[in-house]
């Protein structure tokens, strides 16, 4: 079940619909604010409230002659690291993530200085006399999902195995991305692999016959300890563990394409990034889960460095299901390439395609809640 608030989308003032939110509340900005902000429907019709550590930090309602204005009635003095920008962005995320059919949302703020700060980041925009939130701009606000705004590491060329590429920044540690998934009602996260904490499940995953058939990296604990340590030491790679509701479910290996084996096979840019995946837990397979982790992983790579314009992949050419998932997620099929160990299909996702087509919001047509309603967060795209 979900709670509903009345609202109207931009450009359709004559047609109203319900703004859907999870009945238990939408959890936003977990990394930026320590404890997630909870956005839920208020007691009065058309109202909402925002809580942090169980304390109300904001409230608002939907108003205006066409009932299309998102109004913040109160935003209480925040305690660091929570800011009033975090509160507005959390509500914007809840609205756009649970109602992806919205082209934009009009917003009104009593605090002109707050509006100025949000305008400077691109979280909101001016459209004539109005302030609006557009998903293609809003979902590039890194702090909401990364916990901070990453700085662009200085661009200094270096040489690795004959490839000239930008020097890579130091590896992050701990959790690097968190996003609430409305249709799972759970937080999805990625954290940098920790040898001691993650070795047991990583070892089990790599020895699973389904994973081993693709990765060919089965072995004993010592081998897998060295595997993770090697990836952590290599400036080219970033080994991540995916979690849903704090349960580890898969291994995700990111790499910079310029100095990777894929680099010589196309006109590679210095900030192109690629990835490999191993889903280790059978309970986390299927459409609802791949539609959560796949666009979220792409989101993280685009947010981690704004200079990343393209994400590439190299699935083995006969992995039909993976290629189908990539196709649905906006990846273009470029060409087949031959590696010593496999024939692969080079696929590519453009930054512009990802954000302009709102690919963070997947098409979950066919999935429904226990009471038969369409799941929250599905953006139907047709055939």
- Locate 253 and state its tokens: 């290996």
Cα distances (Å, whole numbers) of residue 232 to 24, 194, 238:
38, 9, 6
Cβ atoms of 71 and 99 closer than 8 Å: no
3-state DSSP percent of the chain in helix, strand and coil, to 5: 30, 30, 40
Determine the Cα–Cα distance for residues 13 and 147; give it in Å rounded to an integer.
Answer: 36
Burial of 285 (0-12, 13-18, 19+ CB in 10 A): middle
Q: Which two tokens stand for residue 236?
A: 């080219």
Catalytic-labelled residue, pool 27, 106, 259, 314: 314
Helix (H, G, I), strand (E, B) or coil at 229: helix
Using CA atoms, how far apart are residues 32 and 259, in angstroms rounded to an integer? 32
Annotate 112-158 with DSSP letters as a single string: HHHHHHHHHHTSSEEETTEEEE-HHHHTT-THHHHSS-PPPPP--EE
Q: Which of 44, 303, 296, 324 is nearest to 187 (CA)?
A: 296
Alpha-carbon distance of 281 to 151, in angstroms, equals 34
Cα 317 off chain centre by: 27
Active site residue 136: no
Active site residues: 314
């Amino acid at each position: 079940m979900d709670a509903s608030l009345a609202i109207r989308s931009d450009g359709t003032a004559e047609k109203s619909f319900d703004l859907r939110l999870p009945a238990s509340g939408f959890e936003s900005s977990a990394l930026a604010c320590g404890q997630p902000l909870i956005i839920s429907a208020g007691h009065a019709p058309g109202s909402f409230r925002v809580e942090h550590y169980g304390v109300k930090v904001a409230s608002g309602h939907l108003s205006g002659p066409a009932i299309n204005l998102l109004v913040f009635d109160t935003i209480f003095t925040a305690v660091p690291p929570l800011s009033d920008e975090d509160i507005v962005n959390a509500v914007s995320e809840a609205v756009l993530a649970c109602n992806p059919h919205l082209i934009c949302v009009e917003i009104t703020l009593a605090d002109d200085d707050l509006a100025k700060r949000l305008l400077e980041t691109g979280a909101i925009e001016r459209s004539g006399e109005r302030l609006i939130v557009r998903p293609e701009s809003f979902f590039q606000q890194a702090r909401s999902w990364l916990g901070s705004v990453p700085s662009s590491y200085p661009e200094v060329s270096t040489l690795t195995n004959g490839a000239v590429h930008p020097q890579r920044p130091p590896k992050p540690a701990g959790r690097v991305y968190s996003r609430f998934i409305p249709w799972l009602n759970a937080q999805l996260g990625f954290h940098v692999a920790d040898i001691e904490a993650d070795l047991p499940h990583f070892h089990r995953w790599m020895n699973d016959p389904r994973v081993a058939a693709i990765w060919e990296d089965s072995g004993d604990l010592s081998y897998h300890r060295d595997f993770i340590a090697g990836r952590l030491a290599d400036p080219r790679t970033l080994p991540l563990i995916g979690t849903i509701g704090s349960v580890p479910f898969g291994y995700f290996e990111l790499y910079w394409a310029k100095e990777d084996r894929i680099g010589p096979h196309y006109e590679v840019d210095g900030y192109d990034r690629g990835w490999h995946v191993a889903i280790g837990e059978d309970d986390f397979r299927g459409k609802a889960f791949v539609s959560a982790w796949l666009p979220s992983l792409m989101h993280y790579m685009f947010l981690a460095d704004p200079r990343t314009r393209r994400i590439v992949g190299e699935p083995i050419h006969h992995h039909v299901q993976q290629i189908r998932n990539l196709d649905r997620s906006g990846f273009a099929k470029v060409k087949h390439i031959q590696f010593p160990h496999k024939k692969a299909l080079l696929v590519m996702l453009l930054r512009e395609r990802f954000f302009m087509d709102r690919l963070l919001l997947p098409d979950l047509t066919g999935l429904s809640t226990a009471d038969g309603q369409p799941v929250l967060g599905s953006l139907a795209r047709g055939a």
